[in-house]
Amino acid sequence: MSSVVSIRNLSHNFGKDSLSKTVLDQVNFTLVAGEIVILEGPSGSGKTTLLTLMGALRTVQVGSLKVFGQELSGARKNELMKIRSQIGFIFQAHNLLPCLTAWENVCTSLRLHGKFSRKEYRALAVNSLTAVGLENKVDAYPDDLSGGQQQRVAIARALVSHPKLILADEPTSALESKKNRNLLEIMKRLAREERCAMLLVTHDNRILDIADRILHMEDGRLHENHMDKKD
């Protein structure tokens, strides 16, 4: 199976000299196409740092980190931008632009891709919002949406371009149980049918059953428990 993410001896520090703190310590990890991996662990253990490094949002300090076969350590700015354009991001902070409607916020992801024409934007955005149960909120502004609805807009934005990698930080924290399961089924279908790899950082025990593997991070070290593959 093809590796979407390959990490070898990755370490990362915050601060300098006597104030330096190790956040990631010799992390090794491989994520393959179509695989769903859940990353859990206590707050401050390094989970979000690892996620942002994989998403080319931080600079690699020590070790090797390859995404789609591209080494991120020492990569040029245009190479990092190309990597980011192929990833669907879901963060705890929904990062919706308040001046844009739901469908316009979803379109901000499409603008990163040359393969979509502007004439397609609204239809693609509406389809993605409909998939997450927001077909009646496509023209609503973020301030008029609940926290759970804003989170679903953020998820629709991540999924609309059918990326080959999803990186999600607490993607279901604001969702009620029924909507949670519906979204998980959408994400699982994307992984299985379109071979999208997913890394989900979560404290939500309700979604553990979606994972092919569950990883645990503590004090910057990654521990892995293998699970049986699901059909």
DSSP output for 149-192? HHHHHHHHHHHTT--SEEEEESTTTT--HHHHHHHHHHHHHHHH
pLDDT at 105 (0 to 100): 94
Give CA angle at 24 (196, 37), nearest 5°.
Answer: 25
Render pLDDT for 59-115 as a digit per residue (tens, 0 to 9): 999 999 999 999 999 999 999 988 998 899 988 777 899 999 999 999 988 877 667
Q: Is 19 exposed, middle or buried (0-12, 13-18, 19+ CB in 10 A)?
A: exposed
Confidence of residue 36 (pLDDT cuts 50, 70, 90): very high
Place of tokens 């354009």: 85
Length of the chain: 231
Confidence of residue 137 (pLDDT cuts 50, 70, 90): very high
The whole-angstrom separation of Cα 100 and Cα 14 is 35
Q: What is the pTM of this model?
A: 0.86
**Which has the closest alpha carbon to 105: 117, 116, 94, 119?**
94
Is 177 a residue whose pLDDT tops 70? Answer: no
Decide which of 14 and 94 is more confident: 14
